[in-house]
Structure 1
């Protein structure tokens, strides 16, 4: 028993948190490039970061520096990727999940022809991975759509985004024909939690924000289906997956009212995979739209595309679990992956308040596989922590080793129960800029990057204790934990 032969062990990064070089080789601004770091807030509540408004976006565009916008500088992966890939290879990575910055290929998003310098960068990146026999797992849209399209169309609230995205996809498939594994939209469900980051929707430009969020989600479903069709046609043997934020929610008590509250949250969390895997909207969701006066435009052609071109596999992020109750006034609330929910008193938490629930990963795997019976791929998992770089260049992060050890052990139990699991890529295998808070001090990696929240540091890379531990895990195919 245990993990199958050829299991894809590796790590994951995103262009907007890793690359930097926001104004190099013709790249245009993305929605991530206007995400500001604000140090004097409670980092456990990302909602208190700078609000997305038209005024704040205009100020960010006028500021040509990376001083207050950490994702503009990232960890300079654009120039250091060969060094980083060599470190991944030293750990024995079988795969690396990374994303393509849309605005590096089409700077504004609506150009007729792509930026050749951007194409060459990703071709060279893939070539470097292949040199070490590391399989690329490419995310097409990971919180980095061109800012111009956000301003022009209010992002994915406009149907025209489908054609612009498919043009981008076609260029990616033509340019990277050796890539076998693709993901369409990162954490596609997050449109309803952070609409600007995920879909380019500027809230103060929406007359009905909830309507625009679900309309954008629908257009992304359609775009994902058509991209899946295109990928299969252009790259024979390719596999395309969807990507879900797995927000596992338990009832706060066994009161039926609390059980129902948790059921409703989990049902809506499954909406994207229901549509992208089964090929249609669940009736319960259509009733939700009707009761909330959400009039989502869906053409017959849209619904046909959803049905004809489902994804090949399901990928997801898993970091924590939360509690739900009919009356949440008595719950202690805590943060999670861009969400706030009830804190489970039976679980410990990270420095950022995210509960640590390894068994929740096994529960999530079994639930997903039982519901869909499609191959699964864990493409994000990990813990943000404050690490200390010692004078001798060592970083002792036993807490991270413990976290991964417990989660991988639960993964193995799910596999032994019959779950078809393709692979596992830890999030932020190298320290990078946090998605929600734009911090560097919230570190996830096996590799330490010498950079602080203000961008100071050498950017030198250092192996943490977890680096050597994960190397042994991969070499033993998960047997040595």
Structure 2
């Protein structure tokens, strides 16, 4: 069994919009996540996760009295944070990843003064973490932004949003400089390439070139991230602030050179975002992509210097499954399967969960080796987990051996990667407490080692319950990965 370093950060991860609740209360403003509607599985359209939505869609959701919008209520972490943090502490967590809701601090996004009640809430959360000897890892932007900035200036398509974000970052860095040492700027920043509204707050109205719009928004996020990194280092000298991507480890379907080339392109598409944030400049290969897709970015004088001076300290990433790349002229008849916000061709060597995501623990080891070879900075697995339909058994317990098996296999591969020489900061289970699904707004797609009594329609007692995986993970943490 591979040994983990003594300072390895074991824990779990969540996001504000999937757990907090307290919709439009305590001074919080509208968030882009607040318009995410639950649609039963049988009514959903097949295909990749959303991309751009229209202004009319946003306005409809804001006035809709009949629809179900689960992220507005989450799992009511706002009122259960002490209980939830106590459960994590009992399991031995070293770290708890959460995000700050930008519209809870600045309800409109461009307010001059922050909402003091929102700031106090996170004071209490971080104080509780410290009290329980849990290190907070805080994401500044996790798939939500003030909806006002979407309606007013088309989200991250506007250069002004950079200034709004940096002001927000400045406020929270100063407020929590004695409570938070670990930060991430943008959650899965590369999701912008496929989901313009979720990640960038871009409205489809009057957008002629959607790809160009997404990459322009990405450029603004790159600049905002670099400025935030620099500001964080100035305000909190002992802080460590990272970039984050969703890692889609990719394999060529065959040894056909065309499939191998398709795989190179797939990886470049995935790693472009971390290339900019870790290396501090636009890679040469992106020029061909921009030319082929008629993409022309507006880059201000001084932006290159900002990117160069604001590189991230570490690379965090999510990992759930891998993908298969096939030459565009050979895709006919190939079966598609689902994944984390992205479709892929099916890999016949892998198993799938109830949502079609294919398990690939060895792919995590490959990803860790490849990313470390590429960047030579510390890596952090900040999301990994299994979404499943957990059920209470006759003995009133949740026997989730399937989750234990999934987590065990992935942790084993992290240990192997560490022995390979990869510098790994830690491992965080995604959705350590059951939460609202980011993509489908379901509660029935459960990731947690702690069960929450709540269904897809918002009904339930909200009582928390330890699953079998909770007791298993506690032993893993206590033994620093020796007992799996």
**Residue 108 of structure 1: aligned partner:** 108
Tell me, in whole angstroms, the C-alpha distance in 1 between the residues paired with 2:427 and 2:357. 20
Q: Pick one of 360, 369, 372 that aligns with 2:372.
A: 369
Given that 1:46 and 1:437 are in contact with CA atoms closer than 8 Å, whether structure 2 keeps it comes out as no
Q: CA deviation at 1:247?
A: 0.6
Alignment of 1:129-168 (within 5 A): 129-168=129-168
Q: State whether residues 221 and 306 of structure 1, in contact with CA within 8 Å, keep that contact through their aligned partners in structure 2.
A: yes
What is residue 264 of structure 1 aligned with on the other side?
Answer: 265
Query: By how many angstroms is 1:46 displaced?
Result: 6.0
Contact persistence 2:190–2:246 (CA under 8 A): yes
Question: Can you list the C-alpha shifts for 1:262-308, whole angstroms capped at 9, x where unaligned?
Answer: 11011110101111111111111122212322111112311101111
Residue 246 of structure 1 pairs with residue 240 of structure 2: no
The alpha-carbon deviation at position 245 of structure 1 amounts to 0.5
Alpha-carbon distance in 1 for matches of 2:314, 2:131: 26
How far the C-alpha of 1:64 sits from its partner, in A, is 6.1
Q: Is the 8 Å Cα contact of residues 100 and 138 (structure 2) preserved in structure 1? A: yes
User: 2:457 aligned to 454, 457, 460, which one?
Assistant: 454
Please list the CA deviations of residues 198-220 of structure 1 after superposition, one character each: whole Å capped at 9, or x if unmatched: 01001234232111100000110
Does the C-alpha gap of structure 1 residues 44 and 249 become closer, same or farther in structure 2, counting only changes over 3 Å? farther
Contact 1:44 1:353 survives alignment (8 Å): no
Q: What secondary structure does 2:308 align onto? A: helix
Superposed displacement of residue 393, structure 1: 3.0
Structure 1 window deviating more from structure 2 (7-16 vs 392-401): it is 392-401
**Matched residue, 1:287:** 288
Number of the residue aligned with 2:278: 277
- Rounded Cα–Cα distance in structure 2 between residues aligned with 1:153 and 1:340: 31
Q: 1:92, 1:471 within 8 Å by CA — same for their partners in 2?
A: yes
Secondary structure of the residue aligned to 2:303 is helix
- The aligned counterpart of 1:182 is 183
Assess, with a 3 A threshold, how the Cα gap between structure 1 residues 120 and 189 changes in structure 2: closer, same or farther.
Answer: same
Does residue 330 in structure 1 map to residue 316 in structure 2? no
**Cα drift, residue 192 of structure 1:** 1.4
- Alignment of 1:75 with 2:75, yes or no, is yes
Q: Distance in 1 between matches of 2:374 and 2:208?
A: 36
Asked if the contact 1:49/1:437 (under 8 Å) is kept, the reply is no
1:82 alignment partner, SS class: helix
Q: Is the 8 A contact 2:381 2:427 kept in 1?
A: yes
Q: Which runs of 5+ in 1 are unaligned?
A: none
Per-residue Cα deviation, 1:188-247 (whole angstroms, up to 9, x for no partner) = 001111110101001234232111100000110010000000000001110110000101
Q: Distance in 2 between matches of 1:364 and 1:146?
A: 33
Q: 1:432 aligns with which of 427, 430, 435?
A: 435
**Whole-angstrom CA distance in 2 between matches of 1:90 and 1:45:** 40
- The secondary structure found in structure 2 opposite 1:470 is helix
Give the SS at the match of 1:290.
helix
Structure 2 counterparts to residues 1-16 of structure 1, below 5 A: 2-16=3-17
Q: What is the aligned partner in structure 2 of residue 386 from structure 1?
A: 389
Task: Report the 3-state secondary structure (helix = DSSP H, G, I; strand = E; otherwise coil) of the residue aligned with 1:242.
Answer: strand
Distance in 2 between residues matched to 1:325 and 1:290, nearest whole Å: 22
Normalized against structure 2, the TM-score is what? Answer: 0.97
Structure 1-normalised TM-score?
Answer: 0.97
Q: How far apart are residue 53 of structure 1 and its match?
A: 2.5
Deviates more, 1:284-293 or 1:302-311: 284-293
Kindly indicate whether the alpha-carbon contact (under 8 Å) linking 1:393 and 1:462 is maintained by their aligned counterparts in 2: no
The residue that corresponds to 1:301 in the other structure is 302
For the residues of structure 2 that align with 1:384 and 1:82, how far apart are their CA atoms? 25
Contact persistence 1:36–1:50 (CA under 8 A):
no
Which consecutive unaligned segments of at least 5 residues does structure 2 have? none
